[in-house]
């Protein structure tokens, strides 16, 4: 998979940056730098094309996921992250997902499929339109969710579904709301404060 790996400090946490539809591996690097300039960065480009736009999995329309492809692409991305963890000598538990929109959605898929592997995520404008059995234990997870009021892509009821997806499984969830389907400077700073607090709580 096309990607960027920037190592800032050996042994530091690793941001896995996952762009939105039409993005590239360059899109969220600045956000990673803002969240913590000392953390390492693995930024990945989605392998799927939709009308010439990069995505992480196929869909049949807005909010209509190709669930079979999502599962396949989630496994593919997980195996890629595992491969990079061995190549660059980092632990999966040190991964922090940072996603926007489509990138947030595949991060949720990985957390549901491999709950024992990951501990933290900052997800902006997520959507996961499915009710699934609550078999996973997220009690070790800290999650920041940035959600949209008046989002034309994600209704507020779907944002609430994402919140409950994490809370019902025991995750420690922090929420912030923006207008529309956006990733603003203000909410990025809220995410930075959340991250600093959760890292300090682990120290």
Residues assigned a catalytic role: 101, 151, 181
As to burial, measured by CB atoms within 10 angstroms (0-12 exposed, 13-18 middle, 19+ buried), residue 145 is buried
Q: Is 26 helix (H, G, I), strand (E, B) or coil?
A: coil
CA atoms within 13 A on the CB side of 119: 13
* Interatomic CA distance for residues 36 and 27, integer angstroms: 16
* Interatomic CA distance for residues 147 and 183, integer angstroms: 9
Q: Kindly give, in sequence order, each residue whose CB lies less than 8 Å from that of residue 15, ignoring residues fewer than 6 positions away.
A: 32, 35, 36, 39, 40, 41, 42, 43, 96, 98
Structure tokens at 59: 């869909």
Q: Is 177 helix (H, G, I), strand (E, B) or coil?
A: strand
Structure tokens at 21: 């539809």
Determine the distance from the C-alpha atom of residue 110 to the mean position of all C-alpha atoms in its chain, rounded to a whole number: 9
Structure-derived torsion over alpha carbons of residues 51, 53, 57, 60, reported in degrees to the nearest 10:
-30
């Amino acid at each position: 998979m096309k990607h960027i790996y920037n190592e800032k400090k050996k042994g530091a946490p690793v941001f896995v940056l996952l762009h939105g539809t039409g993005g590239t591996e360059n899109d969220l690097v600045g956000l990673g730098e803002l969240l913590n300039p000392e953390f390492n960065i693995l930024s990945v480009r989605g392998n799927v094309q939709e009308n010439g736009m990069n995505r992480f999995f196929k869909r049949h329309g807005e909010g209509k996921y190709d669930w079979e492809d999502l599962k396949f692409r989630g496994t593919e991305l997980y195996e890629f992250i595992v491969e990079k963890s061995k190549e660059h000598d980092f632990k999966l538990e040190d991964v922090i997902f940072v996603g926007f929109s489509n990138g947030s959605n595949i991060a949720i898929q990985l957390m549901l499929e491999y709950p024992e592997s990951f501990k933290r995520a900052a997800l902006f404008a997520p959507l996961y339109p499915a009710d699934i059995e609550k078999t996973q234990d997220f009690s070790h997870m800290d999650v920041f969710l940035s959600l949209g009021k008046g989002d034309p892509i994600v209704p507020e009821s779907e944002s609430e579904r994402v919140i409950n997806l994490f809370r019902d499984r025991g995750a420690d969830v922090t929420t912030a709301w923006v207008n529309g389907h956006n990733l603003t400077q203000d909410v990025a700073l809220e995410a930075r404060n959340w991250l600093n607090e959760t890292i300090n709580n682990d120290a």
